[in-house]
Structure 1
Amino acid sequence: MPIETPDRIAFLTRIHLFHDLNEDQFNAVAEGLDERSFRAGEEIIKEGEAGNCSYLIYSGKVRVTRKGQEKPLATLVAGDYVGEESVLAKRRRRTATVTAVEDTLTLALTREYFRQLLKEAPALRANFVVTANSHRLARRIHFKWLQPDEVIYYLARKHPIMLVRAVAVPVLLGLLAAIVMFASYWNSLQWSKLAVGGSWFAGLAIGVIAALWGLWRWIDWGNDYYIVTDRRVLWLEKVVGIYDSRQEASLSGVQRINVQTDLTGQILDYGNLIVRTIVGSTLTLQNVDRPYQAAALIEEHWKRSKETSHKMQEEEMRKALSERLVPGQAPRPKPILGIVAKQQGKKKDYYKSQRSIINLFRMRFEQFTTVTYRKHIFVLFAQTWKAALVMFLLVGILLFEVLTDASFFAALFTSLTGEMLVALWVLLFVGAFFWWLYEYIDWSNDIFQVTPDQILDIDKTPLGLVTSDIASLDNILSIEYKRIGILELLFNYGTVYITVGGGKQMAFEDVFNPSAVQEDIERRRLERVVKRDEQRVNEERENIADWFAAYYHHERGFRTEEEKPDETKKEDAPDGGETQGMM
């Protein structure tokens, strides 16, 4: 049976690709879509073939695969879509194979009809471009922290204008260096000198610094990602070798989404997406390209997540009632109250996540659900500069000895032979190196951690003495941070103070970006509160199911008691009639 136009429109209004269309435009889109059905196991799209249409999944389920990859890329359901790149450009080859997992009904949008629609609704192009760019970027990047079957729907970097701003100063500095080098070279030609002056080498040094600076800013821009999956919204921020942050909000916990743009953002089509959650936290996606299209995408999957959550709650209630009312249904085990003895596990290794080359100097990194902070890199410099200076002086003396005829060590130690001087230099250098290493390990082992249920302040001396201070997130009363002095303001580090029950105060000292650390702790605390509330709701649902079951059994027993006298009368009535007849 064909899908009626009103049903098509109702389906299209839930998909962000058709965001901001009016009623006439929705009618035009709905009437031009072709219904195409596929049986389970049938290929909808084949990798490598030329495509000319996009498919909207009206019902059913499909699997996306690619050659050379064992695991499926994604499993898509009703409301999802595939092949959107084919309607944007000609001769676009399919980048993956899409196969129906079960009988699937789709609505196909051809490239020819899409071009006709753009004349009446030009906003459609921006909606499709956002999705196509996300899928194109997702094909090149793999995130290890994604959960099984988690699907990425949106993946983007900051607007390109942010890259232009980031590299503007290095580019200008590089141009200045080029001018200095050219002027120095031209001056040498004017005076018939073959050798260039010191200004040329100064310009070269400035140019190298500008190039490295610009490369750093480009890499820094490229390491920030905004992601929307079928479960959460994320902001990944990374500074190579120094800082690694992942802020996220569950889609089911989103309360509202706002878009903020200034005049420049309105002209260049970028702005900030502000995602507010039911726990009171805020996730800000800064300088997003095409922010209104991105907001519509988040809103679509937010609503889908709410519908899924509502259906799951209904299913849980149905199961709870079924277990109590249907005879022979095995009840689910209830949680055991009281103290439960646990087997003694292995001693927890708090430093496991930092035993990696890429984490040698990182001030923030994550492993699974644990966020680890170190003190600022400036604190490391303050602890190690003396040892580093000694090593630098020793290397300088060695180079001076090798490149010149003078002998600094021989002048100081006239009674020592050459072999003894070499041994002395090695001994001093090794001692300075181990001094530096001791200070580094002392800095590296002083860590602060935030887990889903507690905060930890852990310090381990290089000789192995470990001290730790632990507090539950449930006991946190207040969180504040302070940056005192010009150095802390200049290098953006400070101390986060956490007050817990009993008047106890913990301090995350000298951490980078203390405001972000404060937000991390507060967000984890609020998530903990939400989980407790969800647990309470589950307990209330179980209690309600128990009450319904008790009422049902009581009502059934009461009716049985009422029906017994009637059955007795019916059984006695024939006997009485026979007795009267015999009389």
Structure 2
Amino acid sequence: MNRDPAIAAQDASADVIIAQLNFLADLEYEDLVQIFAQSAQTITVPPRRTLFEQDAPVDSVYILLEGAVWQERIDTPPGQRPVRRLVRETRTPGTLLGIYDLLFAPAYRTRARTMQSCTLLRIDATALNRLIYRFPQVRQHLAPMKVISRLRTIPMLGRLEPVALGFLADAFGDTLTFAAGQDIYTLNEVEDRIFFIDQGQVRVDLADGPHWLGNGAAFGLLAHSGARTTRAMDHSAHAECNTTVFAIDHTLFVSITGLNPEQRAAEEMQRREQTIDNLVVFQRLSKDQRRRLTGFMSHYYFPANHHLIQQGEEADSLWVLLDGGHAAIHALDGHGNKMLTTITTGVTYFGETALLGQMPQDSSIEAQAGSEWLRLHWTDFRQFVDDEPGNLRRDIEVRTKRQAVVASEQQRQKYAWLQPGELLILLSRRHWIAFLRKGIPAFILFAVLLAIAIFGASIPGYQLWIAIPAGVLAIIALLAFIWGAIDYFNDWVVVTNRRVVHQEKVLFVNEWRKEAPLEQIQDVSFRTTFLGRWLNYGTMIIQTASTSGVISFDYTQHFDQLDNVIKQQRELRQRHSAAQSKLVIHRRLEERLGLNLELPSRVYRGGVKRAEVKPTGWQKRMQRRSANRYRRTEGNTIVWRKHWMVLWPQLWLPFVWLIAVFVITVFLVAGASLVPPNLRFATEVIVIISILVTIAALARVLWVWANWRNDRYEVSDTEIVHVEKLPLALAEQRSVAGLGRIQNVEMSIPTPLHWLFNYGNVRCQTAAEYGDFIFYGVYDPRSVAAEIQLRMERYRRREEEKSARDRARELPDWFEVYNNLDTDEFASLMSGSARRASMRAPGN
């Protein structure tokens, strides 16, 4: 600690420190008093005095109360003269000086001098170390650790020492946010800052055309010199989606880092684009498309080893290792034994199947320290595909043993219920015997038509009385055949990488679909008959934990194939869950060891600027209005109301009464002059009764309508809810079922009337003690069932991660104790060996 006699010092109490570091107010006051006892002083320092020297041991941390402090660093490149760089000029009261040196280095990395007379609070480094030891969470308050962690992964900044990253984090301050379509700066605009993309996409229009930048890229650097203190931009920058960036003064950045940002940014952009140009997977894309695709990629630098892909998990991204970097490939064999680790060098790529769908990976990939990577998340790739004309999925070169899955993915328009990332593995229709059964009416008509034709041929001449009925019969037979064929092809069982789906559909009449997640399937069985054994068909039965959770599909063909695919996909889902658990444990250990990194996985996060697609045709416009009427979003909860058609069974009688009363009233009013005097009293009684009936009917209508308005179905991130509430708050019943209890989901559109107005029922089958949970009469039951399935999938993922976190919570403690015990035992063995050696030495 500096003992300069010109510096006036006065002991400071813990209350003074708490007043400056207000986050300490939440900690135990007695502990703080003990920690800071005789460890802090309020000092007054004259101008141009040194607070601490570069490379001196860290003994104190300072809090500026008044004045200004100059921090600089002197670097001496090999064979060159020393370079003096301004790191920070501090005038803000409350600023901590020397805190990054305390956290990240054993010695001060800068020299601090007062620019004018200053008042500071000086705290012993040992006291702050005790504070950090006692309350580890204070690190997040002493320094912007999340920002520093993010800066460590930005390629231009990642190789800087942590103290420099801390100064950069202070200079960056809060991130800036730009909306989709917003100009960040325009051509010839004066812009003194440079920018680093935290998350989002920016288009820069350079002299050679537009370039797209994603997460981790730098921009605002290519500029021609204007006035001595200004920079006029020679290009424009434009946010393509909602984008957050770090911004810093160009001069200050160069002073802190000593880097040439213009040269580094140009090299990084060229490196990314050339890498994408040379990847085999994108060779069939045009050069402009590859340049556009680069903007959908995140660019990372890994300062330490980092796990990217876990064997068995469904990878969500393509990972590209850039030149000069290294990666380790790990794998377990079928018996769970570790295989030989392979080290590979860039340029290479992994997880390319994620661009087609989420498929299990065969190996684990670990980025080695100092390597740089590009990451293309599958949702960003889908955004790129949607923005470009044509079907670019077919233009990427991906070799996979699941190529049939890739082809099925292109049918997403046909199977609209597929969730994002879900792949159609196998589709199975009924045996041809079922096709013949559905075509029996047509075959009978064709037989009758043949008999008529034979009969007509036996009669000489053209017989009109036979030709006309035969023609009508032929049309009916053809329509019956087409109907049977469509009915046959509308019934199927689909196995995806997440669930089994069974659909039964009669065109224009009804539709029924039942779904079971792969994790909930307990047994798959097959029953057949004597004829079925000969013709290879039977009934497949899929049993879940729910008492009514049975999917039965008769006339099943190729049962062995279906059974194998279902079991294989179920096993892959289990492996995926296990792999996700390992990743969570890995991340937990990284957090404990201080190795966790802030890595935004996606570039696009909403706010895509594109023309709104308005529905065309009266049917689509009606559907859109109906969807807004029957469905609304309240935070993370979606609320549905029953379709208005469910009111008719309760309202038809009141409406009949109202119509009858109206007709009677019109009759009485029109014929009032014709009513004899002796019947006028009876007429008045009829009018009074009609009024009372009308009031009762209207009251019934209002009651039913209010009751319909009060009933609602809800699905949130954790549960489904049915609320039944009588008008006037007379009674309310709320039924709740957790998403984790749902075994399978069934959707039905039972009648042609339901099909015409697009409403039906959704049945959520739960465990036996809970029974079934039914959404009656909801609009667009297909989308309701799809939303519930999506929420169930997300809930299961969260529960898997939570379970893994719970299992991992105590692992770091176990490893720490084990390491300590192992070290102590090793030291004991070494000391024992030394004693024995000394005893055997000559002279003992």
TM-score (norm 2): 0.32
Whichever of the two has the greater Rg, that structure is 2
Q: If each structure's helix is expressed as a fraction of its own residues, which one has the higher value?
A: 1
